[in-house]
Amino acid sequence: MEPRERRQHLPRRWWAFLAEHPPPGAATVHRRWRSPLRGPWLTSVYGVVLLVGLPLVFLTGLLDYLAYSPQFGQAFPGDVGWLRLPPFDWPTRPSWLFRLTQGLHVGLGITLVPVVLAKLWSVLPKLFAWPPARSVAQVLERLSLLLLVGGILFEIATGLLDIQYAYLFGFDFYTAHYFGAWVFVAALVTHVTLRLRRMLTALRSRSLRGELTTSRTATRPEPPDPDGLVAARPGPATMSRRGALGLVGGLSLLLAALTVGQHFNGPWRRTALLLPRGRQPGTGPTGFPVNRTATAAGVSAADTGPGWRLTLRAGGRTTAVDRAALLAMAQHTVTLPIACVEGWSTVQNWTGVRLRDLAALAGADGVTAAQVRSLEKTGLFRQATLQANQVLDADALLALRVNGVDLTLDHGYPARVIVPALPGVHCTKWVAEIDFRGRAGG
Ligand SMILES: Nc1nc2c(c(=O)[nH]1)N[C@H]1C(S)=C(S)[C@@H](COP(=O)(O)O)O[C@H]1N2
Ligand SMILES: [Mo]
């Protein structure tokens, strides 16, 4: 027994010393948190919502990363070391696939913020528990909690700033958000492994229906628990558990309602009050959102005037066509979304030439990929590589017109890429050149 004991517990003298020398206020701090609502049941209700929701946010985030085609080195961050996921060709069907994954990632991420905060509130007094740990296992668990809480708050903060296009931090958003997610998930797996059984027991300890019919005056604290979530001397209830769940649920619904509008055209978009792409920039056929204007991208009308040519390359051959020649080719009209990873989307009717017809015109043989370059001299989004399935899909277009009129300069005039389920970032505007890669290595 002796040696085992010694391994499991911190040296007795240290612990006794810590226990006898609390920092100022440690002994009284608990008296300040007296809410009778705190307890394993309430914590577990918030916990089970997050246990379902947060893995979905993580998985849709990973799917968004994979949709960027990391096999072409164009996902952010580019090099993720041993966290590299098996590459696969992102499908072009259903055409709303990326709209769904990025919409869920951003939308659910926002909606869960009140639940995260409520769960942290429910366990807040434990942050000040003294002594901080009684055993080596507890030290490790508290370290994992640091990564868990720090991880989720970091992901929320960076994510919210990113969808506001507010890069206040001095580091690269994608790198930080990607690795932060893995840190959080590793801590979450640890946490769930250690706590799942206690959570299930706590959930069974009271009935949800019972709580939803209990008024504030009838609200009593949960019985004292070994984890010390229940206050030692609970005060009177200022709110029922029903009220607490309703408040958090109501805030989540409100955030969802103020977010979802950024996926719809017309007046709905204006209901996305908290989001920059919730603004309806104009009316008429081209009055839909623009992520980066021509001015911001340094593209002028002079670059896109009568002198503009589209250069097609395949197997060492070069073909140049002007806009009139493109308009003389077979035209196709498709209804497809532009879905930006920053969380907004818009569905429009695009008309133009099939990318596979352009591949044929260029003389490309057995297309394996296509690199699309824009007129821009600089900028992260001036070029994109498309997978073979994204070039060959019957709805993959080099769009010349939208909703029955010519593209405007801000929407990518003279020509832009539009492909089903392709992330918005790869729907290159102001296209100047398409380089078809073929099986022959051309
Ligand atoms: N040449 C070029 N194409 C671009 C971009 C850009 O900055 N330059 N932005 C991309 C991004 S991030 C998105 S979401 C879509 C937005 O299309 P929109 O501006 O027509 O709404 O265009 C994409 N195409
Ligand atoms: Mo985007």
CA of 395 to the centre of ligand 2 (A): 20
Length of the chain equals 442
Tens digits of residue pLDDT in 223-248: 999 999 999 999 999 999 999 999 99
Using an 8 Å Cβ cutoff, are 322 and 311 in contact?
A: no
Residues 113 and 187 in one domain: yes
**C-alpha–C-alpha distance, residues 431 and 383, integer Å:** 9
Q: Which atom of ligand 1 is the closest one to the Cα of 342?
A: 14
Using a 6 Å cutoff on CB, does residue 413 contact ligand 1? no
Checking DSSP bridges between strand 397-402 and strand 317-321, what pairing results, if any? Answer: unpaired
**For ligand 1, atom 20, which residue shows the shortest CA distance?**
411
Name residues whose C-beta falls within 8 Å of residue 62's C-beta, 6 or more positions apart in sequence: 85, 181
65 and 150 part of one domain: yes
User: Is residue 274 situated within a structural domain?
Assistant: no
Whole-angstrom Cα distance, residue 438 to residue 53? 42
Q: Are residues 349 and 418 in the same domain?
A: yes
For residues 398 and 389, what is the distance between their CA atoms, to the nearest angstrom? 15
Query: Are residues 77 and 175 in contact, defined by beta-carbon separation less than 8 angstroms?
Result: yes
Name which of 76-80, 307-311, 357-361, 419-423 the model is least confident about: 76-80
By residue range, what is the domain housing residue 61?
12-262
Please work out whether the CB of residue 177 comes within 6 Å of at least one atom of ligand 1: no
- Contact between 419 and 397 under an 8 Å Cβ cutoff? The reply is yes
Residue 2 predicted with pLDDT over 50: no
Closest ligand to C-alpha of residue 429 is: 1
Pocket of ligand 1 contains residue 426 by CB under 6 Å: no
| Cβ neighbours of residue 365 closer than 8 Å, sequence gap 6 or more | 314, 315, 438, 439, 440, 442
Residue 315 scores a pLDDT above 90? yes
Given a cut of 50, whether residue 69 has pLDDT beyond it is: yes
Looking at residue 14, its pLDDT comes to: 80
Distance of CA 331 from the midpoint of ligand 1 (Å): 22
Decide whether any atom of ligand 1 lies within 6 Å of the 99 Cβ: no
Residue whose token pair is 């690199």 = 371
Number of neighbours of residue 140 by Cβ within 10 angstroms: 13
**pLDDT at residue 117 is higher than 50:** yes
Mean pLDDT of the region 1-7: 46
Domain-embedded: residue 382:
yes
The pLDDT value given to residue 1:
39
Domain stop point among 215, 241, 262: 262
Please name the residue whose Cα sits nearest to atom 11 of ligand 1.
425
With beta carbons less than 8 A apart as the criterion, state whether 13 and 105 touch. Answer: no
**What is the chain's mean pLDDT, rounded?**
94
Q: Provide CB contacts within 8 A for 313, sequence distance 6+.
A: 319, 362, 433, 434, 435, 436
Question: Average pLDDT, stretch 126-150?
Answer: 91
Position 382 pLDDT exceeds 90: yes
- Same domain flag for 236 and 92: yes
Q: Which listed ligand is nearest to 277 at the C-alpha?
A: 1
- Is pTM beyond 0.85? Reply is yes
CATH of residue 301:
3.90.420.10
Question: Could you tell me if residue 55 is inside a domain?
Answer: yes
- Round to whole Å and give the CA distance between 113 and 101: 18
pLDDT at 442: 44
Whether pLDDT at 29 is above 80: no
* Residue 384 near residue 426 (C-beta atoms within 8 A): yes
Check whether 273 has a pLDDT greater than 50.
Answer: yes
Distance in Å, CA 342 to ligand 2 centroid: 6
Straight-line distance from the first to the last Cα atom of the chain, in angstroms, rounded to the nearest whole number: 72
Q: What pLDDT sits at residue 3?
A: 47
Round the CA-based radius of gyration of the chain to a whole number and report it: 28
Residue 279 pLDDT more than 80?
Answer: no
pLDDT band at 67 (very low <50, low <70, confident <90, very high): very high
Asked if pLDDT for residue 7 goes beyond 80, the answer is no
- Per the structure, how many domains does the chain have? 2
The mean-pLDDT minimum among 72-76, 145-149, 278-282, 322-326 falls in: 278-282
Which pLDDT belongs to residue 441?
Answer: 46
Residue carrying structure tokens 């307890």: 39
Q: Residues 295-327, buried b or exposed e (16+ Cβ, 10 A)?
A: eebebeeebbeeebebebbbeeeebebebeebe
Q: Are 87 and 53 in contact (CB under 8 A)?
A: no
Going from the Cα of 341 to the center of ligand 2, the distance in angstroms, rounded, reads 5
Residues 251 and 193 in one domain: yes
Task: Say if residue 55 is preceded by a cis peptide, omega within 30 of 0.
Answer: no
Tens digits of residue pLDDT in 336-350 = 999 999 999 999 999
SS3 374: strand
Is the predicted pLDDT of residue 11 greater than 70, yes or no? yes
Residues 254 and 323 in one domain: no
Is residue 5 a part of any domain in this protein?
A: no
The tens digit of pLDDT for each residue in 193-221 reads 999 999 999 999 999 999 999 999 999 99
In a shared domain, residues 298 and 367: yes
298 in the same domain as 178: no
| Token pair recorded at residue 161 | 């700033």
pLDDT score at 319: 98
**CB of 381 closer than 6 angstroms to any ligand 1 atom:** yes
Whether 251 and 324 share a structural domain = no
Residue of 328, 383, 390 lying closest to 355 (CA atoms):
390
- Co-location of 324 and 220 in the same domain: no
> What gap in Å lies between CA 418 and CA 395, rounded to an integer?
8
Tell me which of 97-101, 282-286, 417-421 is least confident: 282-286
Structural domain ending residue among the three candidates 221, 240, 262: 262
Whether 29 maps to a domain, the answer reads yes
The confidence band for 31, taking pLDDT boundaries of 50, 70 and 90, is confident
Segment (H or E) for 321: strand 317-321
What pLDDT score was predicted for residue 440? 59
In a domain? residue 280: no
The yes-or-no verdict on residue 4 having pLDDT over 60 is: no
Overall average pLDDT of the 256-260 stretch? 97
Pair (253, 300) in one structural domain: no
The span from the CA of 425 to the CA of 328, in Å, is 28
348, 409, 427, 433: residue to mutate for ligand 1 pocket, most atoms within 8 A of CB: 427
pLDDT of residue 436: 98
| Cα angle: 293, vertex 299, 303; to 5 degrees | 145
**33 and 119, same structural domain?**
yes
Q: How far, in Å, CA of 370 to CA of 388, rounded? A: 7
In a domain, 353, yes or no: yes
Cis peptide before 337 (omega within 30 of 0): no
Burial, 98: exposed, middle or buried (Cβ in 10 Å; 0-12, 13-18, 19+)? buried
Q: What is the pLDDT of residue 9?
A: 66
| Averaged pLDDT for residues 380-398 | 97
42 within a domain of the structure (yes/no): yes
